[in-house]
Amino acid sequence: METTRKSSEASEVVILERCWIVEFRSKTNVSIVLKFQSGEPDLYLEAASKPDCESWAVALGEANSEGLQNKIQQLRRLIMEIKEERSSDEAQQFLPSSQADSLGEPQFTSIRRIANEPKLEFSLACKDLVAATRDRKLNTFIQVSVVHPAEHILTRYSSTEIVEGTRDPLFLTGVTFPPEYPIYEETKIKLTVYDVKDKSQDTVRTSVLPDHKEPRADVGRSFLGCTTFRVGDLVKSKEQQLTLTLRTSDGGKTVGTIEVNLVKMGELEDGETDHITTDTQDQKCALVRECTATEGISDKDNLPSLNAVLKNPICKLYRFPTSDNKWMRIREQMAETTLSFHVPKELINLHIKEDMRRNQELKDLGELAPHWDNMRKSVIAHCDQMLSMYQDTLAELGKHTGSSFKSSCSKGEKTLEFIPINLHLQRMHVHSPRLKDALYDVITVGAPAAHFQGFKNGGLRKLLSKFEAERRNTGYQCIYYSPENTAKAKEVLSNINHLQPLISSHADLLLNSASQHSPDSLKNSLKMLSEKTELFVHAFKDQLVRSALLALYTARPGCVLKKPAVPRNSAEEGSDLQHQDHPSQIKRQDSIPHHSEYDEEEWDRVWANVGKSLNCVIAMVDRLLEKDSISSIKEGENDPSAADCKVLRTDGDWYEQLYPLVITLKDCMGEVVTRAKQSMAFVLLQELACGLPQCLMLTLRRDIVFSQALAGLVCGFIIKLHTGLHDQGFLQQLHTVGLLVQYEGLLSTYSEEAGMLEDMAVGISDLQKVMFKVIEAKSEDFLPVITGRREHYVIEVQLPAKMFELLPQEIKEGKLLRMYPVLFNVGINEQQTLAERFGDTTLQENINQENLELLKEYYKLFTEKMPPDCLPHFQEQNDLKGLLENLHQNIQAKKRKNVEIMWLAATICRKLNGVRFTCCKSAKDRTSMSVTLEQCSILRDEHQLHKDFFIRALDCMRSRQTQGALNESDDPETGCLTDNKPTSRHFYPVALLLVSSHLLVVWLILSLALLLAKYQ
């Protein structure tokens, strides 16, 4: 230290060891006091200003002996790594320079592996670790780093979990390298063992950083030792096991050994067992690793179609003891899906075509009276704006080249509002001794909701109800049609667009058969023409078409009513409905005019002419075939050999006799199509005009929510189909009953999440109208194809030829497969606590009750159509009945945060071969906690996980530290997390605020006041 003179020499030397700094500030001076643990007198230092005082405190904190020792150790490790990389005996084996120059890059030895399986997997255990002090109980974990042979850069890859209180730690978390990871036999792997002083303070996250950048010393962990091995040495070792010596950073002192065991899931290990006995309280169990030969789950034929859907898998490997002290191995896999963007883009493209067709139909209505014409212009203008928005969104999505999923950070972006949030497949592959391998899949996705549009006025469930109530009171400006009638109008238009080309095509085939004078072909063509024409005629047997034609007649210019336009009352409607072939189609028609001079029977004559024309065609074909048969018989009597010959006859040409009748049929059908299209377009005009622009905005919101929900459903269906391809019971259930799709919601009923839940409920309900169809792929493009229109979509799933042949005949013939989506929601966070105490949980209760009835309906269909012994999970019928009854009782109980509802619903879904979804706001914290809890519960209940290891297994799966080297495509929240974010979260939050009681009371009162104001 110096004196007060500026140019003075050092007058005193202070050794900063085992001391701490106390900083005092006052108005007069700023000073620092150094206090020593040794009991030496305090050292008082006075600074000239506050900045000087702060800089002194920082400098003194960094100048202590402990910090300098850590820096020295860090430099020693860096020197060792440089020596290892430059060592000739451990250098990578390159080709000769001449070959290297010709190839342009070095060649490395690949690792043999099964297709689509991880390249390398191994487990770790340490023995005889040496602690810094004799009485110290070690809390250790291993950090795994990789030296890439081409780059010579050490990269952190992953870490194990922390094992507490033992010098012989057995790590349950293994290391796995996915199929696409660039690892070779020449690759070196470095294992570094750390001792964690305080587990709660060890919040360092592993990332792709140079390994010499060590974490700060104050994070509560210390370096014990490290070792390095080549991948080729492990793979080629006779016992497929390496025992390595751990050494200190200077390479001199031995601090223990580490065992590396190669893992091959599902393969026989020549009957060998590996006994590892632990003697600590946390690991008191004789752990025996023993594998048996099992059937392979994955088929190499599945790979092309699965790889088209899944990408960027992240694998984690675990080994847990069973109740009979044997090993079971678990591979946990999370994968993205290309469907996150593919399905929304397909849907938006269909929306654009459908809206363009609707706009053209509105323009083709013909001349209208001024009032109706102005209404039409306004509607078309708004529709064009919405159509332009869809086109812009599709163009922006076409430019997207980044990640194949949308992270929660982007949920508010307008260009990505059709894309689901964090859509991933979470798969658990379990290989346990004496049991067959099992797969458990859960699709995780953020709740389908319109985040960009917001939830200020609630979600779709509330908005649609409010909109329908307001539309009933539109007055004289437009005619009110119920939602059922507008849906019927869309269905009629869809049938017209679908059937008219088919009928025209079959009519041409009939004429072609007549020109060839082929009786068999003529019969087949007539049969197809009759079937399609009957469907066409049947589509217009509805009172809606007749009433819409009358309304359109009164909307024409120059129409003078001799009677005033009066609404049809219920008595008139009742008398009319008695004479309809399909009653109950119209519940209410407000202000539909009635004109005395309008001939209501004209429409009946028009569409009846189609049937009469078809009858004429049928009669003519029968007459021609009858004459042909008689002529053939007569010729056969004269010349027996001529009866077997089919010759063309020029007399009485069939084509000439059928042609006028077919043309008449087409003309009559064209007249029906023109009138029906105009009448149904007029109905849609009323629907749009009654609610502009809110109607279009609600349609947009519903499209957004449905797009997110459908992307997840398509992903779940494809994964389930591939998994159950060899299960004949499941395939029979699929085409006989349909597929159960169970959504587990974790949203609260408070604030914005209540609106999200309303959106989600409507989006999942709309999935009931989606049908699936499995077709044989004709090319290498296995992505699904979407056809249809709003509320009536068909998803065509493409399979390779070998896989397609495994399907039942009904599915191969194109039978449409139904979906049965159900949603059960239980809010579990602190916002749900507020909703239960001061808000309203009716929304959640209603949703759960409604979907319970849907689940019971599916179970009833299943028991009626499927044999009791069809499914492996269905050996006990009473078991499912008991679960359903228990679920019913829990829903009726209205218990706060009743997570038993979620567990029961998930169990029923798995027993019924359904698809599981887990959703929260962003598919992050609550979703991950739920999925990991479910996985460990399955291991305990189905695979005999040792009861003493349940919590430890749960900690392994939830630990962020074991996730390894994450990048932006792996972690949905990269760029959104902060370094001080906690590394784990509790599934059942118990605290609201850590404040004084007075502040808590004030806060609760204000929250209650805001809540009441919101719902008034």
Beta carbons of 945 and 970 less than 8 angstroms apart? no
Q: Is residue 601 helix, strand or coil?
A: helix
End-to-end Cα spacing for the chain: 72
Cα 304 to chain centroid distance, Å, stands at 20
- Which residue in 690, 920, 936, 956 is the catalytic one? 920
At 160, which amino acid appears? T
| φ and ψ of 729, to 5 deg | -65, -45
Output DSSP code: residue 822. Answer: E
Place of tokens 């179609």: 305
Distance CA 164, CA 280 (A): 9
Distance CA 289, CA 446 (A): 39
Output DSSP code: residue 742. Answer: E
Would you call 920 a catalytic residue per the annotation? Answer: yes
Distance CA 523, CA 618 (A): 10
Classify the phi-psi angles of 814: left when phi > 0, otherwise alpha if psi is within -120 to 50, otherwise beta. Answer: left
Question: Who contacts 560 (Cβ-Cβ below 8 Å, separation ≥6)?
Answer: none
Question: Helices 925-942 & 900-911, crossing angle to 10 degrees?
Answer: 60
* Kind and range of the H or E run holding 121: strand 120-127
Distance CA 590, CA 597 (A): 21
611: β partners = none
Question: Helices 339-363 & 654-689, crossing angle to 10 degrees?
Answer: 100
328: β partners = 320
Beta carbons of 124 and 175 less than 8 angstroms apart? yes
Cα 974 to Cα 104, 350, 401, 626, 968, distances in angstroms: 35, 33, 18, 78, 5
Q: Is residue 339 helix, strand or coil?
A: helix
At 418, which amino acid appears? F
- What is 176-194 written as a DSSP string? EE-TTS---TT-EEEEEEE
Distance CA 749, CA 510 (A): 61
Beta carbons of 792 and 769 less than 8 angstroms apart? yes
Q: Which residues of 62-81 are buried (b: 16+ CB within 10 A; e: fewer)?
A: eebeeeeebeebbeebbebb
Beta carbons of 335 and 405 less than 8 angstroms apart? no
Beta carbons of 162 and 140 less than 8 angstroms apart? yes
- The radius of gyration computed from the CA coordinates of the chain, to the nearest angstrom, equals 37
Distance CA 487, CA 494 (A): 11
Q: Is residue 258 helix, strand or coil?
A: strand
Q: Angle at CA 389, nearest 5°, toward 464 and 372?
A: 65
Question: Who contacts 68 (Cβ-Cβ below 8 Å, separation ≥6)?
Answer: none
Beta carbons of 934 and 906 less than 8 angstroms apart? yes
Q: Which residues of 442-471 are buried (b: 16+ CB within 10 A; e: fewer)?
A: bbbbbbbbbbebebeebbbbbbbeebeeeb
For 167, counting Cβ atoms within 10 Å of its Cβ (0-12 exposed, 13-18 middle, 19+ buried), the class is middle
- What is 744-776 written as a DSSP string? EE---SSTHHHHHHHHHHHHHHHGGGEEEEEEE
Catalytic residues: 920
